Amino acid sequence: MVDELIDICDENNNLLKIQKMKSEAHRDGLWHRTSHVWIYNSNGEILLQLRAKQKPFLWDISAAGHISAGENPITSGLREVEEEIGLKLRKEDLGFWMIRKHKTIFRKIKNNEFYYVYFFKFDGDINQLKLQKEEVQKIPFLPIDKIEKELKISPDRYGPYGDYWFEALDEIRKKLVS
């Protein structure tokens, strides 16, 4: 895990003018912010990433990461998409959905986070994207129904987001019919 300086906030998402290393925030359970970008296509499929072997070897959302100290959420989302899967987007490409408060302990990491969640519709060729090998092993488009079924059968094969998975998939499904 690459360590980085991040802003710390309180349990109501108010910045505290305190910066800590990500490892400290996870060790001590300090509240902080992340950006999540869900990428979907017109066929009702979600771009998932299989995390690299040196990372937790799980299926995860399209691109996500910690918001660096002093960085704004949308800039972080754009940076993570470009770093992890090689897709260069602009601010106006991302549709903001919500800020989601999430608290969990996963593999000794106390994750107290506020997710800034964005959506992007992409009907391009994923074979043209360049993966960050240290982070991502592969990125298939998978049908929403298949993801939901697998989440119910083997949730331990997916990032530890609980109901957030289903909420995001439902929201994408709504976007496809509107």
Read off the pTM.
0.94
Structural domains in the chain (count): 1
Angle, helix 144-153 to helix 163-177, in steps of 10 degrees: 170
| Local confidence pLDDT in tens for the 178 residues of the chain | 578 999 999 999 999 999 999 999 999 999 999 999 999 999 999 999 998 876 666 999 999 999 999 999 999 999 999 999 999 999 999 999 999 999 988 778 889 999 999 999 999 999 999 999 988 999 999 999 999 999 999 998 999 899 999 999 999 999 999 7
Q: What are phi and psi of 128, to 5 degrees?
A: -90, -5
Q: Which residue has the tokens 């360049």?
A: 130
- Return the H-helix or E-strand segment holding 1: none
Residue 107 pLDDT? 75
CATH number at residue 141: 3.90.79.10
Q: Quote the domain boundaries for residue 72.
A: 5-177
For residue 162, give every residue at least 6 positions away whose Cβ sits within 8 Å of its Cβ, in sequence order, or none: 104
Q: Where are the beta strands (DSSP E) in the chain?
A: 5-9, 15-21, 31-40, 45-47, 49-51, 59-60, 63-66, 95-106, 109-121, 136-138, 141-143
Residue 75 pLDDT? 98
With 0-12 CB in 10 A as exposed, 13-18 as middle and 19+ as buried, what is 104?
A: middle
